[in-house]
Amino acid sequence: MGKTLKSSVTSNRRRFLKTTGASVAALTLAGCTSDDTGSGGDGGDGGDNGSDGGSGGNQGTTTGSSGGSVDEVVIGSNHPLSGSLAATGVGMNNAIKLAAMRKNEAGGIESLGGAEVNVIQGDNQGKQELGGQVTEELLSDGANVLTGCYSSPVTTAATQVAERQGVPFVISIAAADNILENRGFNYVYRPQPPARRMASDYADLVPTVVRDNGGTLDTAGLFYINNSYGQAIRDSLRETLPEQDVEIVEETAIEFGASNANTQVSRLRQADPDTIIASTYVAGGVLLAQALQDQSYRPPHLTACASATFTDDKAVSDIGDFANGVLDNNYALNPTTDKTAEVRSQFTENYDQEFSASVGMAYTAGEVIIQAIEEAGSADSEDINNALKQLQYEDHISAMGTIEFNDAGENINALAPVNQVQDLSVKVVYPEEYAETSPQI
């Protein structure tokens, strides 16, 4: 249009600039905070963690004036039900509901006379600024115990509120170390391995798998999502890979919501490492695979650390044959127990969704909460919190040992085994106690 369409009124232009500028700034800020806290620090938690014990949490829904028998115990599920993380977030929320449904079908909380487990949900949209707000809303709606949030920055904000209110929070998925590190939390627990553990598991397991099967893995290029989760994995890999004689020769980040990974792959192609290690949400890994194919490049070993992409059946299917052979160490479903198949079948039947490793990890978090309620014999948040501290839970479907938490709230037996995409199916290949097939290098 150039010289054809004139904005005749200058003040209109100024209004546009002013209004749009403010709007774009707001949108951008929202995007930045939702996707990327970036600091790798402790999320600005203000240093007042848990000092007051909060309100003591909610007491559950009771019948009778004395509050003797409990009708139901409420789990507040704080996940991204809309926004670009919703595809996985909705599945995770459904997994929590399934855990509750299975318990209710089995008679409810036995130690509470068959009280029902009720799940209420809140949508954090994957935005950090909503993490705390949704938590507050779930608590005011009567949640006795909380879970969430998939995105690490969101979880950082949500757990701060839970801690302040004195209500236990079991993280469904969120990898960043700093969610629990140096925050002095007393009410937050994480069944999954945190970033540092996943990175050390990568360094311990993946080079071993490659080398034991005749491959070479001396150099690596990192491809990570630029938020607290991706940065935490990157930082940990920097520490752990050299211990296994793997040199990092390139690092490149992708922005949340990026439209392609062409530039990043150009950098990786120039460095030509033995392996590219991807640490991204689902979309980032898909973009990586597409850019690699567009540039006709694939390192000898395409691997991932804590990446959601290569444990997601739909993403693997969308990527196609190029996904075959990718090694990804991440939390995984335990293929060696019958319960896994049973839960998977029930989930797909009820929700018409894939039961991915991420969804499975959320299911495990749901079961951890329910088991803690059972052992507490109470709907009181403080009692549930005490039960979580003592919990030893074996009958779960994740590929790791007994779930029990240390003083910081981390699961001391958390594990990120090695998965491999074989025939467009995600399979655990190492360590052997959880392996359903052998790795193909």
Binding site for another protein (CB under 8 A): 1-9, 12-17, 19-21, 23-24, 27-28, 31, 36, 81-84, 86-87, 89-90, 226, 251-255, 257-260, 262-264, 266-267, 270, 282-283, 286, 290, 293-296, 314-315, 318, 320
CB of 287 to another protein, least distance (A): 8
Q: Which residues contact 61 (CB under 8 A, 6 or more apart)?
A: 70, 71, 72, 74, 142, 379
- Residue among 28 and 392 whose Cβ is closer to another protein: 28
CB of 222 to another protein, least distance (A): 11
Task: Give the sign of the dihedral formed by CA 343, CA 152, CA 238, CA 47.
Answer: negative
- Residue among 270 and 437 whose Cβ is closer to another protein: 270
Distances in whole angstroms, Cα of residue 380 to Cα of each of 350, 366, 372: 30, 17, 11
CB of 369 to another protein, least distance (A): 25
- Residue among 3 and 407 whose Cβ is closer to another protein: 3
- Residue among 34 and 159 whose Cβ is closer to another protein: 34
Nearest residue to 58 (alpha-carbon basis) of 187, 191, 157, 156: 187
What's the CA dihedral at 56, 61, 63, 66 to 10 degrees?
Answer: 0
CB of 441 to another protein, least distance (A): 27
**CA–centroid distance for 412 within its chain:** 18
Task: Give the sign of the dihedral formed by CA 235, CA 237, CA 242, CA 246.
Answer: negative
Nearest residue to 57 (alpha-carbon basis) of 142, 135, 126, 122: 142
CB of 199 to another protein, least distance (A): 18
- Residue among 181 and 318 whose Cβ is closer to another protein: 318
CB of 87 to another protein, least distance (A): 5
CB of 231 to another protein, least distance (A): 8
**Which residue type sits at 279?**
S
CB of 225 to another protein, least distance (A): 10
- Residue among 35 and 404 whose Cβ is closer to another protein: 35
Q: Which residues contact 245 (CB under 8 A, 6 or more apart)?
A: 207, 218
Q: Are 108 and 132 in contact (CB under 8 A)?
A: no
CB of 122 to another protein, least distance (A): 16
- Residue among 202 and 256 whose Cβ is closer to another protein: 256
- Residue among 49 and 252 whose Cβ is closer to another protein: 252
